[in-house]
Amino acid sequence: MRIDILTLFPDMFQGPFSESMLKRARDRGLLDIRLHNIRDHAQNKHLKTDDYPFGGGAGLVMMAQPIFDCIRTVDPGHEALRLLMTPRGPLLTTERAMGFARQERLLLLCGHYEGVDERVMSLLDGEVSIGDFILTGGELPAMVLADCVARFVPGVLGSTESAGEESFSRGLLEYPQYTRPAVYEGMETPEVLLSGHAANIEKWRRRQALEKTRQNRPELLGTYGKYYENKGK
């Protein structure tokens, strides 16, 4: 999969994309992440990419011209699914991330300041938000989306089951996890996890996932919760 990221601050991405899972995926050719500086496409003396909003108001708005030219240079044939990272977009979910992972190519535009000139939307396919809060720009959300999507690209995770067992993948939060030693500072691993009985382990995990979801995200239960409650009886 190829991911093109359009940003005013490409250096922000060097650390996250050069470590851990994303680095290994890039080294193995499973992910091709390319950074593009929008400022390189500015057509003014001072490489300015923002201006005051029409109608007044606080802050600055990213200008259409540098973004138009950057998009048309990076993706001239509109081969990528083009997305704007913005808090006004639909919320990123596991289901959406899985859909994005089925694309051969993504283009992520990082908004900044008070947003982008609305005319830029004529070149885009959609918008994405990572939550109901405001950040200084779209760079961190783009990192989050890239990491989230990468987990569903075949071969990126060490285990093909890992992504399917994590929080939200089944509509519930993930069950508690334990590893060696079995006892640490007097705290014991639940006996069922040491039993080797696959059916009992699955039932325990399902019950734990339901309880964790009730405690932390009860709004997620709905149909999923009823399904798993019935399945666990």
- Superfamily classification of domain 167-232: tRNA(m1g37)methyltransferase, domain 2 (1.10.1270.20)
**Cα–Cα dist 43/102, whole Å:** 36
What is the predicted pLDDT for the residue at 166? 55
> Which pLDDT band holds residue 223 (cuts at 50, 70, 90)?
low
Mean pLDDT rounded to a whole number for the chain: 91
pLDDT for residue 228 is more than 90: no
Q: Which residues does 20 contact at the CB level (< 8 Å), separation at least 6?
A: none
What Rg value do the Cα atoms of the chain yield, rounded? 22
Q: Look at the alpha carbons of 17, 21, 23, 25 in this order and tell me if their dihedral is positive or negative.
A: negative
- Every domain of the chain and the residues it spans: 2-150, 167-232
Report the pLDDT value the prediction gives residue 222, as an integer from 0 to 100.
78
- Rounded Cα distance, 39 and 131, in Å: 27
Tell me how far apart the alpha carbons of residues 36 and 34 are, in angstroms, rounded to a whole number: 7
Question: What confidence tier does 26 reach under pLDDT thresholds 50, 70, 90?
Answer: very high
Q: Which two tokens stand for residue 216?
A: 């932390």
Return d(Cα 143, Cα 70) in angstroms, integer.
Answer: 19
197: its two tokens:
């009985």
Backbone angles phi, psi at 22, to 5 degrees: -65, -40
Q: What is the Cα–Cα distance from 156 to 28, expressed in whole angstroms?
A: 9
Q: For the whole model, what pTM was predicted?
A: 0.86
Read off the pLDDT of residues 39-76 as tens digits, 9 standing for 90 and up.
Answer: 999 999 899 999 999 999 989 999 999 999 999 999 99
Two structure tokens written together for 100 = 């994005």
pLDDT for the residue numbered 45: 87
Closest by CA position to 194, among listed 209, 179, 174 = 179
Domain boundaries 2-150, corresponding CATH code: 3.40.1280.10
Residue ranges in 91-138 assigned as alpha helix (H): 94-101
pLDDT at residue 233, as a whole number:
45
| Structure-model confidence comparison of residues 215 and 168, the more confident one | 215
Q: Of 137 and 225, which is predicted with more confidence?
A: 137
Query: Is 113 a residue whose pLDDT tops 70?
Result: yes
209: which residues sit within 8 A by CB, 6+ positions away? 170, 172, 173, 174, 175, 228
pLDDT tens per residue across span 164-206: 555 565 678 889 999 999 999 999 999 999 999 999 999 999 9
Strand order in the sheet with 32-37: 32-37, 2-7, 105-110, 81-85, 126-128
Alpha-carbon gap, residue 76 to 49, rounded angstroms = 21
Residue 171: the pLDDT is 78
pLDDT computed for residue 105 by the predictor: 98
Angle between helix axes 20-27 and 139-150 (nearest 10 degrees) is 70
Task: Tell me which of 231 and 56 has the higher pLDDT.
Answer: 56
Q: Is the pLDDT of residue 159 over 80?
A: no
